């Protein structure tokens, strides 16, 4: 096949441009996949702990990393990526939880959705495996206000105070306050 | 007991344990801790509660973690798709379409979709069968099985009790099993139910099986959290003298949802 000289150079320029855009993209893709590997388990555990079903939890985690890809592709700030990831997951999870509550309002499908949800409450078989001490602790955990529970779960998944503050839109002081209050309450319940 | 003002607060102890203190304060703290057994003991208590919490979270949540069946690959496929759509646009999009890499990606996506569809169908079949089993379960306590039972308490005892912190709610596992059994729930593991008091102990309810029922935990409109609010409200009203203890017990045991609507003047949970 013969290609006119000018056409050929245009072709070369275009392929070169595409190649460089391609490698930028695939770098970002690789980074997102790396972050997925790093955070998937913790994120899933967090969204389960705040009441999402396994199915919804997995969907949300996928959505989080697609959003992260766009975030990085647009060159948005990346100084607190873990906080960013958990923040998006937290917000999506609460939205999903609300939506499923709303869907229930109209329907008699309460039980159907109830069956889809998982949370920290153990099944009777599991309860057999839980010590009295652990059951007391779970009960005390549930008795905490939801924001305090969020803080505690995020801390348990390894987030620093600064990151928790970003996820929940709180001040550092408020995070520290909430955590110490909750731990003291759990400790009290643990001792009794 | 640590009454002395110069002792460290729980908050500072936790900040120190979490490595969240500035270095200078951290040094002061370690000096204090080295000298003060009270604070060290307190710090140990907090740490012990934390490790117990960590253990219980893992025990409860880890069995629910699904295996990574194709999720990573699915994400990769979605990412390539998005990269192609949002990439440099125009010409490069055209070339991308031709690129061998894309061809591979498309093949991979289709293969993956087939695998995922199979997994999804089998998953759905499995969850549906458990849904069917659970769908017949009660959302409200049965009057026959759980009419409510109280213990002998005076108003003073009801109102002087320490704020509820969870330990009062512990029901022996054997009794919990009995409750699930009498409600016919021993076949399907009711993950989303907790055995709860119909008349809460704070209102003089007893832990007799007639006062216990399997309450749906999270996902329904009228769930355990809503009932907790009602209990707090009734307790407050009883102790303020606005409501008679017997009436509170009767209302919550007759139909707690009706009672909620009555005492919160609303048709749905606030």
CATH number assigned to the domain comprising residue A58: 1.10.1740.10
Same domain, A108 and A95: yes
pLDDT for the residue numbered A88: 95
Do A192 and A149 lie in one domain? The reply is yes
Domain boundary among A74, A99, A119: A119
Range of the domain at A150: 120-192
pLDDT score recorded for residue A42? 95
Q: What is the ipTM of this complex?
A: 0.74
Q: Do A146 and A58 reside in the same domain of the chain?
A: no
Residues A68 and A13 in one domain: yes
| Chain B CA closest to residue A161 | B20
Regarding whether A139 and A108 lie in a shared domain, the answer is no
The mean per-residue pLDDT over the stretch B214-240 comes to: 78
> What is the percent of chain A where pLDDT is above 70?
73
Cβ–Cβ gap B59/A134 under 8 Å: yes
Burial bucket for residue B266 (CB in 10 Å: 0-12, 13-18, 19+): exposed
B187 versus B265: which is more confidently predicted? B265
Flag if B167 and A187 touch (Cβ within 8 Å).
no
| pLDDT at res. B95 | 45
Claim to verify: residue A21 and residue A113 sit in the same structural domain: yes
pLDDT grade, residue A90 (50/70/90)? very high
Query: Which residue among A89, A119, A149 closes a domain?
Result: A119
Question: Looking at beta carbons, which residues of chain A come within 8 Å of B72?
Answer: 33, 36-37
Looking at the structure, do residues A91 and A127 belong to the same domain, yes or no?
no
Q: Which residue has the higher pLDDT, B176 or B32?
A: B32
Q: Which range, A22-36, B10-24, B218-232, has the best average confidence (pLDDT)?
A: B10-24
Residue B220: which pLDDT band, with cuts at 50, 70 and 90? low
Domain end, chosen from A95, A119, A143, is at A119
Percent of chain A with pLDDT over 90: 51
Which CATH number is A125's domain given?
1.10.10.10
Q: What is the pLDDT of residue B86?
A: 65
What integer pLDDT is reported at residue A127 of this predicted model? 60
Which of A120, A129, A133 to mutate to probe the B interface, most B CBs <10 Å? A120
Q: How many domains is chain A built from?
A: 2
Whether residue A52 sits in one domain with residue A12: yes
Query: CB-CB: which of B9, B136, B165 is closest to A188?
Result: B165
Burial B224-242 (b: 16+ CB within 10 A, else e): bebbeebbebbbebbbeee
Q: According to the model, what pLDDT value does residue A168 have?
A: 95
- What pLDDT was estimated at residue B136? 39
- pLDDT score of B182: 77
User: Tens digit of pLDDT for each residue in B37-77?
Assistant: 999 999 999 999 999 899 889 988 888 888 877 888 888 88
Residue that wins the pLDDT comparison between B235 and B154: B235
Residue in B closest to A141 by C-alpha: B166
A42 lies within 8 A of chain B by CB: no
Checking if the pLDDT of A164 tops 70, the result is yes
Same domain, A20 and A79: yes
Q: Are residues A110 and A132 in the same domain?
A: no
Quick check: A79 pLDDT over 80? yes
Q: Do A77 and A170 belong to one domain?
A: no
Q: Which of B59, B134, B186 sits opposite A111 (nearest CB)?
A: B134
Distances (CA, A) of B136 to A51, B190, B212: 22, 12, 19
Regarding whether A149 and A103 lie in a shared domain, the answer is no
Q: Which of A58-62, B220-224, B260-264 has the lowest mean pLDDT?
A: B220-224
Q: Are A116 and B217 in contact (CB under 8 A)?
A: no
Inter-chain CB proximity B173 and A124 less than 8 Å: yes
Q: What is the mean pLDDT of residues B27-36?
A: 93
Q: Whole-model pTM?
A: 0.54
Q: What is the pLDDT of residue B164?
A: 44
């Amino acid at each position: 096949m013969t290609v006119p000289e000018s056409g050929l150079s245009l072709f070369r320029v275009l392929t070169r441009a595409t190649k460089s855009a391609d490698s930028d993209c695939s770098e970002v893709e690789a980074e997102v996949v790396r972050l997925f590997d790093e955070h998937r388990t913790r994120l899933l555990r967090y969204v389960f702990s705040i009441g999402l079903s396994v199915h919804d939890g997995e969907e949300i985690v996928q959505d989080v990393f697609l959003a992260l890809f766009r975030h990085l592709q647009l060159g948005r700030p990346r100084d607190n990526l873990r906080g960013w990831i958990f923040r998006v997951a937290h917000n999506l999870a609460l939205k999903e939880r609300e939506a499923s509550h709303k869907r229930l309002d109209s329907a008699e499908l309460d039980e159907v959705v109830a069956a889809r949800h998982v949370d920290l409450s153990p099944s009777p078989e599991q309860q057999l495996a839980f010590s009295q001490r652990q059951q007391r602790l779970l009960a005390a955990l549930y008795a905490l206000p939801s924001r305090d529970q969020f803080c505690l779960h995020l801390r348990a998944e390894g987030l620093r105070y600064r990151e928790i503050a970003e996820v929940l839109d709180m001040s550092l002081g408020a995070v520290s306050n909430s955590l110490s209050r909750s731990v003291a309450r759990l400790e009290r319940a643990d001792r009794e | 007991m640590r009454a002395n003002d110069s002792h460290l607060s729980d908050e500072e102890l936790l900040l120190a344990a979490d490595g969240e203190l500035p270095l200078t304060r951290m040094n002061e703290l370690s000096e204090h801790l080295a000298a003060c057994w009270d604070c060290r003991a307190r710090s140990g208590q907090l740490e012990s509660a934390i490790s117990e919490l960590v253990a219980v979270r893992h025990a409860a949540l880890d069995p629910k973690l699904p295996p990574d069946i194709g999720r990573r690959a699915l994400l990769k496929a979605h990412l390539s798709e998005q990269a192609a759509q949002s990439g440099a646009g125009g010409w490069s999009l055209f070339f991308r379409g031709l690129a061998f890499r894309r061809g591979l990606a498309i093949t991979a996506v289709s293969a993956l979709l087939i695998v995922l569809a199979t997994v999804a169908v089998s998953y759905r079949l499995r969850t549906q069968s458990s849904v069917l089993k659970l769908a017949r379960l009660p959302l409200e306590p049965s009057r026959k099985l759980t009419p409510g039972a109280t213990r002998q308490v005076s108003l003073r005892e009801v109102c002087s009790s320490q704020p509820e912190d969870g330990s009062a709610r512990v029901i022996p596992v054997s009794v919990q099993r009995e409750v699930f059994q009498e409600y016919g729930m021993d076949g399907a593991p009711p993950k989303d139910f907790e055995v709860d008091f119909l008349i809460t102990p704070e209102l003089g309810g007893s832990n007799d099986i007639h006062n216990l029922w399997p309450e749906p935990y999270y996902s329904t409109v009228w769930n355990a959290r809503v009932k907790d609010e009602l209990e707090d409200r009734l307790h407050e009203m009883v102790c303020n003298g606005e409501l008679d203890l017997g009436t509170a017990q009767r209302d919550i045991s007759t139909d707690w949802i009706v009672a909620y609507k009555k005492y919160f003047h609303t048709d749905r949970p606030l």
